[in-house]
Structure 1
Amino acid sequence: MFKNFTKLWCAAGVLHSFAVFAQTGINTENPGSTMDINGSLAAKYTAVNAALYNLSAADFYVSYNGASNAVFNLPPAINGIGNFKGRIYTVKNNTNFTITVNPAAPETINGNSSINLSAGQSMQFISTGLSGAVSSWELTNNAPATASNGLSVNGNDIKLGGTLSQSTNIATAGNNLSINGTGKVLIGTNSVPAGASNARIVIDNGTANGALQIKDGTQQLGYVLTSDPNGLATWSSTVTTAFANNWTSYTGTLVNPFTAPTSGGGLVTGISLTIPAKGWYFIRSGISINSDCNDYFFYINGIGDVWRSYCGSNTAAFMFPRDQNRVLYFAAPGNYTVLAGKTNGVVPVSFNAGNPVFYLDFVKFQN
């Protein structure tokens, strides 16, 4: 009888063991997981002040409150019996210093030989059960969000509005960077100065020279920034006068354009004017032509005449007036070809045979 009772008790113990290893509930009648706890859970909390600390099997949550940078060492992995795969350590840095967490060499943490915890950060380390030069620890980063270099943080909200703490290059890659609204772009100041109520861009360089630099290839010493009808600005020479005596002559070599026995314009002269900047130019020119009655002229297509002589004699005579002045406007810098024309087919008896010989020069007098 006693023997049968013993066998029954052993069978009940075996069944009880299967139940424990299947699913266990604490304050839970029907556990849904291997361990199902209906209530709170506590694990060891350790406060550390030492700058060197070795994590052990007795640790779970370690809080650092020291007065310097610290080094925490993780335990080396174990093969076979004693393997602690799945062990979890949480390390919290409650200081303004840095904690360096090291695995046992040659092991790694997510492939890294060490991990740094900055001020206020916490991290969770989980053993993979592996050993050797592998990731024997995986890392769950529970670090609070931080913001720098033009960003600010408010809780979980990271937004523009911080101070730039390092050199920053905004590569637009063909995209537009737009700043709109009623606000202003202030450079060198954080307050709108007097007289800038309608300005969109304000540069305050204090008393230092050179607050603005614009380089587009048209800049030269003494030039001023001028606008076209659409508000597009380029650099052009300052206002001068013809009295400055800084005349510029034509370029090229003059050829006789009036040899054809036909009339018309577009005749090649071989010369041109190189205009350095847009603006108004005073042009003077002179040439001797001995011819029967005809109208001869030099001009720049789309700009105007630079010299013209009208028929004044039915017999061969020098054209007059020999010397002429013009005021012409050039909308853009560049090289302008000088053309010639005549109103009938008369070929001059002589061309450029006077004294002095042909001249054509110019000077800018107004932007």
Structure 2
Amino acid sequence: MGKIYTKLFFAMLALSPAIVFSQVGNIGINTANPGSTMDISGSLAANYNFVNTNSYNLTSSDFHVSYNGISDAIFTLPPAISGIGNYKGRIYRIKNNTNFSITVNSTSPETINGNPSVIVSANQSLELISTGLTGPTSTWEILSKVTASNGITLSATDVKLGGTLLQATNIAMAGNNLSINGTGKVLMGTNTVPLGASNAKVVIDNGTTNGALQIKDGTQQLGYVLTSDTNGLATWSSTVTTAFANNWTPYTGILINPFTGGTGASGLNTGIQVTIPAKGWYFFRCGVAINSDCNDYFFYINGIGDVWRSYCGSNTAAFMFPRDQNRVLYFATPGTYTVFGGKTNGIIPASFNAGNPSFYLDFVKFQN
């Protein structure tokens, strides 16, 4: 008997243009125990509309509308109805299957989420629901809108990396690393790998405009160049000391005679050091008076080189010559370096540092 009543209900529904049906409880289709006002155990179909024209007014018979035109389009929503005929809860789904845009307009003064219109971009979709309100209010609400912008692109339902940035974009690292791995390259200003960059990981092509790269770490100064340490860590540093003659730095410490031993040796204590402020090439000058017969005497920095050396020049006691000498030395690492002394045999000088002027050693940086 229940099945007969159900069939009679749907027959009346089909034959009547409008039916108001009031009942207490739920209606189930293919289910004996409906849990909702209408509980359908099976598929549900709604109208599918295929539109090619670039101007279309949505109607009460529309549900899903697909646009496949050849230009930008304008869709207009129906005006809201107050009282009898109000279609609160009506849903429209609009799918743009083209590379053009659809402008969906509400009927003035009505709005869509407070706006008079909304754009459905190429290959995107929009779902709207009527709020049942009239006037300058949100007559329509956006249920869902699939978009892809600001650096990403939507192709059908596939959101892909790559597109145009529409606004300033910041990525907050929050203590995390951002890694780019693999065999590819990061190209800026070009999408073509230029000649000579086959092994490069980062390529910046600024055309003929100066200033393609800016690195600020607190060491930058006018005229400085970017230089690397042994680990590849780069800092800004000067290539040339311009006021060369006015930048000499003297040794530190108190000189003692390192040549008092009766055997030849190196690594002898001189009591002096030099403090190198930065890596680079340094010009050294040094002078000392040593009165001795045939022997080789020298001052040096371990691992760097000599700062002064005198070779045997006489079989009788004489002052070493030349007394004043110049050296060019390279320091890869800044720091304080000890100056050592050495000699090639056990001869003890008859006098040490008895010249006028007395011992001097100073240096200046001239190039990285």
Contact 2:259/2:341 (CA < 8 Å) preserved in 1? no
Question: Aligned partners of 1:93, 1:234: CA distance in 2, in Å?
Answer: 53
Question: Please, what is the CA RMSD of the aligned residues?
Answer: 4.9
Q: Which amino acid aligns with 1:61?
A: R
Q: Which residue of 2 aligns with 1:11?
A: none
Q: Which amino acid aligns with 2:128?
A: S
SS of residue paired to 2:284? strand
Provide the identity percentage: 49
Aligned: 1:306 with 2:346: no
Task: Using the TM superposition, give the Cα deviation of residue 143 of structure 1 relative to its aligned residue in structure 2, in angstroms.
Answer: 0.8
Task: Using the TM superposition, give the Cα deviation of residue 235 of structure 1 relative to its aligned residue in structure 2, in angstroms.
Answer: 4.2
Residues 93, 324 of structure 1: CA spacing in aligned structure 2 closer, same or farther, 3 A cutoff?
closer
Counterpart pick for 1:61 among 87, 90, 94: 90
Total equivalences in the alignment: 288
Question: Aligned partners of 1:171, 1:54: CA distance in 2, in Å?
Answer: 54
Q: Which residue of 2 aligns with 1:255?
A: 255
Aligned: 1:181 with 2:162: no
Residues 61, 202 of structure 1: CA spacing in aligned structure 2 closer, same or farther, 3 A cutoff?
same
Q: Which residue of 2 aligns with 1:356?
A: 357
Residue segments in structure 2 that go unaligned for 5+ positions in a row: 1-22, 47-58, 62-76, 93-103, 120-124, 132-140
Q: Which amino acid aligns with 1:60?
A: G
Residues 251, 352 of structure 1: CA spacing in aligned structure 2 closer, same or farther, 3 A cutoff?
same
Residues 68, 226 of structure 1: CA spacing in aligned structure 2 closer, same or farther, 3 A cutoff?
farther
Task: Using the TM superposition, give the Cα deviation of residue 312 of structure 1 relative to its aligned residue in structure 2, in angstroms.
Answer: 5.2
Q: Which residue of 2 aligns with 1:339?
A: 340
Q: Deviations over 1:121-178 (max 9, x none)?
A: 53698xxxxxxxxxxxxxx984123233322223332232122322312517353511
Contact 2:298/2:306 (CA < 8 Å) preserved in 1? yes
Residue segments in structure 1 that go unaligned for 5+ positions in a row: 1-19, 73-90, 98-118, 126-139
Task: Using the TM superposition, give the Cα deviation of residue 362 of structure 1 relative to its aligned residue in structure 2, in angstroms.
Answer: 3.8
Q: Deviations over 1:168-222 (max 9, x none)?
A: 125173535114334x4332x3443864663543323355432212345654433
- TM-score (normalised: structure 2): 0.58
Task: Using the TM superposition, give the Cα deviation of residue 311 of structure 1 relative to its aligned residue in structure 2, in angstroms.
Answer: 5.2
Q: Which residue of 1 aligns with 2:117?
A: 95
Residues 66, 256 of structure 1: CA spacing in aligned structure 2 closer, same or farther, 3 A cutoff?
same
- TM-score (normalised: structure 1): 0.58
Q: Which amino acid aligns with 1:276?
A: A
Q: Which residue of 1 aligns with 2:170?
A: 168
Residues 121, 190 of structure 1: CA spacing in aligned structure 2 closer, same or farther, 3 A cutoff?
farther
Question: Aligned partners of 1:244, 1:236: CA distance in 2, in Å?
Answer: 16
Give the alignment of 1:225-304 within 5 angstroms.
225-226=226-227, 233-238=234-239, 248-258=248-258, 261=261, 264=265, 265-274=267-276, 276-279=278-281, 281-291=282-292, 295-304=296-305
